[in-house]
Amino acid sequence: MPSVRKLALRVTMRWFRPKLWVVAMSAATAAVHRRTAFSRGALLFCCVACVAMGCTENAAGSTEDDGQANGESSGTGTGFVRNQRIIYTDGLHNENTELAARNDRLLLAFRGGESGQIGSGRAHIDVFASTDGGRAFQKGSEIGTDTLPLERDIRDPKIVALKDRLFLYATSRLPGGHYRDLGGEAWVVRSESTDDGATWTSPEKTFADVDDTGTESFWAFWRFTIRKIVGSDGASEQTLYATGYDDGDTTVGLFSSDDGVNWQKRATILHSEDDVPSEAELKFFGDRGEIAVAVIRLDNRGIVEGGQSAICTSKEPFDDWECGRRIDERLDGPTWFLQAHGAEQRSFFFARKHLPCTRKRTAIYELRGEIAVADAPLQVCEIQEVASAGDTAYTALAPLSGDRYLLSWYSTSVDEDPPWLAATYDPSDIWLADVDFAKAPAACTPPTPQAPCEPPALPDATGPIVMTGRYLLAVAPVIFPSELVLFDATVTVNGTSMDLEMQPLNQETREPVGEPWRASGTSLAEDGTFSAKFDAEALPEEAFPRLADPLLTLHDFTLTGKSLSANRLCGSVSGYSQVFGTRVSDRIRLEGSTFGAIRSDDGSHPAPVSSCEAGP
């Protein structure tokens, strides 16, 4: 492991420790919660009762046609996606959905038991069953982690039927959060059912990648795909393949098993520290399935921003892979569906969509072109979003009849639109919808190009010129707007310019921590506007304890603002924070962050103001 990744191991258990994700609610958000408390409470009661007793098509939170539950229509008017509805809610953070068809039953599995993405032994996989085509589901079993050591968690269930055996695979990591999965020591765990998914065995580790020195490399398997061929003796043969990504998110590998129990690593599909590859879809093409294609998520444009996906191809025996094609859509937690379309096949992807200012949606895409030909061009089409916000996606599909399928995903409350990172500790619900691939649009609508987060406009009003003095300056980060970073700021006006010194403060005690930041000779316009740019600055852990990152530095940090009065400054923030190293993939853009400053010459501790809209 390169040295920068070793440094990350020092950070990972702290960077994503549970208190990082506990986001204090702003006054505005609290007001929204007060307004929606009754409706969400009623929805919670209705949906839990609904799941327990059997839901009808018009259950709480559902809509007909292309309507979006608790919001505006999310459809295209084509009937491609219908009847979007919440099927399960319990006030916890439910996520990572899976669907499977078993004879006359549909199985729905998802991760529950936690209040956020941070993992612990409280996590479990809930398995529900439907006997009426997905209109109602009843809970059948729960796969816990009591038999796994060290309070390991469990997530990302995948149900696979192989040679008359039914498996549920999942990923288990050590408790706590893990930046880029470092230190998680991922295991592939396996449960088995002998009664068509009604009950399951306790999960157990099913694969270990140990070298000659006894050192283990840890992998999380993502997509399981069966390759069926006819052998030389005329008999049908099945091999189960899986894609997996390592702790550190630097490598995607190919693995195989003949029995679903014993696995071997077959090849490296993609290795790239800059690209941060992880979840990878897998399909086989050709008369004998002799061409393999993997579509791989790449977090190569930042930690919480959008990125790309790599399209990788290989020919039997799948030892060597070509990964030169890229699309400018980062497909998180994807499901790849192939639909026969005459002599051709259409490739649909259900995945997380990335919006400016770290907002997210679940969306449906199509990739057009010869995806199994290594150098063939591809066209990306965006079909539509479904009801979703905050932390969302990790989709699944199961057949209903003909071209009709059941779609599942999870989402934070669609009544709000929180930043993704903050939403990972909010409650999230399990959603279903009906998809009719016969009604998929023929026209291709390219996705909107990924755009930066636009700063809020400065107020039109012209206040008195900024005054020399001392201010309490507060920054509201775009990823956690309610987790303020505080500074004791000293402004010195020199005619048409000003000097700004900012001393970071302990968020809890407001005592100085670390070294002061300085921006000298900043131009000051007649209307009080300014743009103060700082050198690379280290942000002490105590100043932002939710992140608690000893390696965190801010680069190109710029405050663009103006004076609202003799006592107040406000504006927007730009630049980026570097978690560690120098790679773009380890950055968080600061655009969308805001700041405010209120005069505190007497050394008092006024209530912080963090934007032009807040405060007196």
Indicate whether 45 pLDDT > 50: no
Indicate whether 31 pLDDT > 60: no
CATH at 520: 2.40.128.120
pLDDT at 34: 32
> What would the pLDDT profile of 259-291 be if each residue is shown by its tens digit?
999 999 999 999 999 999 999 999 999 999 999
Per-residue tokens: 593: 């962050």
Beta partners for 223? none
Give the integer Cα–Cα distance in Å for 70 and 272.
41
pLDDT band at residue 461 using 50, 70 and 90 as cut-offs = low
| Strand residues in 355-442 grouped as ranges (E) | 360-368, 379-386, 392-401, 404-412, 428-436
- CA neighbor of 308 nearest in space, from 151, 449, 494, 506: 449
Give the integer Cα–Cα distance in Å for 230 and 225.
17
Which range among 60-74, 194-208, 559-573 shows the weakest confidence by mean pLDDT?
Answer: 60-74
Cα end-to-end span (Å), the chain: 52
Mean pLDDT of the chain: 88
| Strand residues in 39-153 grouped as ranges (E) | 81-88, 95-102, 105-112, 124-130, 138-143
Report yes or no: 579 and 588 within 8 Å, Cβ to Cβ. Answer: yes
CB-CB neighbours of 216 under 10 Å: 11
Q: φ and ψ at 33, to 5 degrees?
A: -65, -40
Q: State whether 491 and 432 are in the same domain.
A: no
pLDDT at 315: 98
**If you average pLDDT over residues 57-67, what whole number do you get?**
35
CB-CB neighbours of 520 under 10 Å: 12
Answer yes or no: is 239 within a domain: yes
- CA neighbor of 492 nearest in space, from 483, 484, 505, 501: 501
Segments forming the whole domain that contains residue 230: 3-439
- Report which of residues 614 and 12 the model is more confident about: 614
Answer yes or no: is 146 within a domain: yes
Helix, strand or coil, per DSSP, at residue 36: helix
Answer yes or no: is 461 within a domain: no
Q: State whether 157 and 296 are in the same domain.
A: yes
Report yes or no: 132 and 123 within 8 Å, Cβ to Cβ. Answer: no
pLDDT at 435: 98
Q: State whether 369 and 286 are in the same domain.
A: yes
pLDDT at 314: 98
Q: State whether 415 and 479 are in the same domain.
A: no
Sheet holding 322-327, edge to edge: 277-285, 291-298, 308-315, 322-327
Beta partners for 369? none
Q: State whether 208 and 356 are in the same domain.
A: yes
Give the integer Cα–Cα distance in Å for 67 and 458.
36
Answer yes or no: is 616 within a domain: no
Q: State whether 173 and 37 are in the same domain.
A: yes
Q: φ and ψ at 102, to 5 degrees?
A: -130, 100
Q: State whether 406 and 486 are in the same domain.
A: no
> What would the pLDDT profile of 72-131 be if each residue is shown by its tens digit?
333 434 599 999 999 999 999 999 999 999 999 999 999 999 999 989 999 999 999 999
pLDDT at 78: 55
CA–centroid distance for 77 within its chain:
28
Answer yes or no: is 316 within a domain: yes
pLDDT at 584: 96
CA–centroid distance for 585 within its chain:
15
* 400 exposure class (CB count in 10 Å sphere: 0-12, 13-18, 19+): middle
CATH at 37: 2.120.10.10
> What would the pLDDT profile of 303-359 be if each residue is shown by its tens digit?
999 999 999 999 999 999 999 999 999 999 999 999 987 778 999 999 999 999 999
**If you average pLDDT over residues 463-468, what whole number do you get?**
78
Q: State whether 291 and 407 are in the same domain.
A: yes
Answer yes or no: is 455 within a domain: no
Report yes or no: 347 and 366 within 8 Å, Cβ to Cβ. Answer: yes
| Position 596, amino acid | G
Close Cβ partners of 580 (under 8 Å, ≥ 6 residues apart): 4, 7, 8, 11, 549, 551, 586
**If you average pLDDT over residues 586-597, what whole number do you get?**
96
pLDDT at 591: 97
pLDDT band at residue 296 using 50, 70 and 90 as cut-offs = very high
Domain count, the chain: 2
Indicate whether 463 pLDDT > 90: no
Per-residue tokens: 264: 């071997």
pLDDT at 373: 97
Q: What is the pTM of this model?
A: 0.88
**Residue pointed to by tokens 């968020």:** 507
> What would the pLDDT profile of 541-562 be if each residue is shown by its tens digit?
999 987 778 889 999 999 999 9
- Report which of residues 1 and 84 the model is more confident about: 84
Percent of the residues in the chain that have a pLDDT greater than 90, as a whole number:
78
Answer yes or no: is 432 within a domain: yes
Q: State whether 427 and 491 are in the same domain.
A: no
Give the integer Cα–Cα distance in Å for 485 and 335.
39
CB-CB neighbours of 449 under 10 Å: 6
Percent of the residues in the chain that have a pLDDT greater than 70, as a whole number:
86
Q: State whether 424 and 289 are in the same domain.
A: yes
**Residue pointed to by tokens 């589901």:** 137
Answer yes or no: is 209 within a domain: yes
- Report which of residues 257 and 548 the model is more confident about: 257
Q: State whether 196 and 257 are in the same domain.
A: yes
Give the integer Cα–Cα distance in Å for 8 and 245.
17
Q: State whether 306 and 189 are in the same domain.
A: yes
